[in-house]
Amino acid sequence: METLEGHFHNWFGVLFFAVLYGVILLFLPFYKKMDKKPVGTYLAFVIAFAIEMHGIPFSMYVISWIIGKNLPEGILWGHTLVSSIGFWGMYINIGLAVVALSLILNGWYNIYKKYWSKETGTGSLVKTGVYKYIRHPQYTGLLLLSLGMLVEWATLPMLILYPVMVVMYLRLAKREEKDMLQEFDHEYVEYMKKTKMFIPFVW
């Protein structure tokens, strides 16, 4: 663990990464003030990432205590699978973060600029920009951003929280779509037929 001594007990780093990834929530749609559970789960995921990467490697300590020996670097502490893939986890994280931020910001821009009409006082279905290809780009972006963190620095809490978060945002998206069907009726039905939910041309 000596090779990563400088990584830990860096509480400024913990705060920086927690704020950096947490501020992304400001660019997500707040569905009826947004359910607190999906937001809370994402924030817990981010805090687990920040603390175990820069603060204290809790997962390594807990598992080592249970099994009676230290875990090798890259297994629930350190850069994920560093002994077999080197720092590729970090590079993948950066790539996924770029894609994720593009989806989130493009989605935010199109909703902010094109959903509400001041002239008519009504909303219109947004089908431009990234919404031409997927119906929930910002949730896709959030899950990609989280996946990148997991690929770079997987820990026990993150491995547990990620599938929970996927299920929560899937349910949230489905609840949103029920409201969209009520608001836009057949227009939204046709939109759903042509546009995938989370992954272009796939799902």
Question: Rounded to whole angstroms, how far apart are CA atoms 87 and 106?
Answer: 29
Q: Is residue 200 part of a domain?
A: no
pLDDT digits (tens, 9 = 90+) for 74-96: 999 899 999 999 999 999 999 99
Q: Is residue 202 part of a domain?
A: no
Q: Is residue 63 part of a domain?
A: yes
pLDDT for the residue numbered 117? 60
Closest by CA position to 134, among listed 99, 179, 164, 82: 99
pLDDT for the residue numbered 203? 58
Question: Rounded to whole angstroms, how far apart are CA atoms 108 and 126?
Answer: 11
Q: Is residue 199 part of a domain?
A: no
**Cβ burial 98-133 (10 Å sphere, 16+ → b, else e):** eebeebbbbbbebbeebeeeeeeeeeeebbebbbeb
Q: Is residue 94 part of a domain?
A: yes
pLDDT for the residue numbered 2? 46
Q: Looking up tokens 């290809």, which residue turns up?
A: 133
Provide the token pair at 86.
Answer: 């080197």
Range of the domain at 124: 2-194
Long-range contacts of 37-44 (CB under 8 A, 24+ apart): 37/168, 38/165, 38/168, 38/169, 38/172, 41/161, 41/164, 41/165, 41/168, 42/142, 42/146, 42/165, 44/157, 44/161
pTM above threshold 0.95? no
Q: Is residue 70 part of a domain?
A: yes
Provide the token pair at 125.
Answer: 């279905």
Q: Is residue 201 part of a domain?
A: no
Report the chain's mean pLDDT, rounded to a whole number: 89
Question: Which residues on adjacent β-strands are paired with residue 116?
Answer: 123
Closest by CA position to 193, among listed 95, 101, 127: 127
Q: Is residue 182 part of a domain?
A: yes
Phi, then psi, of 116 in degrees rounded to 5: -95, 130
pLDDT < 70: residue spans in the chain = 1-6, 30-35, 116-122, 203
Question: Rounded to whole angstroms, how far apart are CA atoms 17 and 21?
Answer: 6
Provide the token pair at 14.
Answer: 């913990």
pLDDT for the residue numbered 33? 53
Overall number of domains in the chain: 1
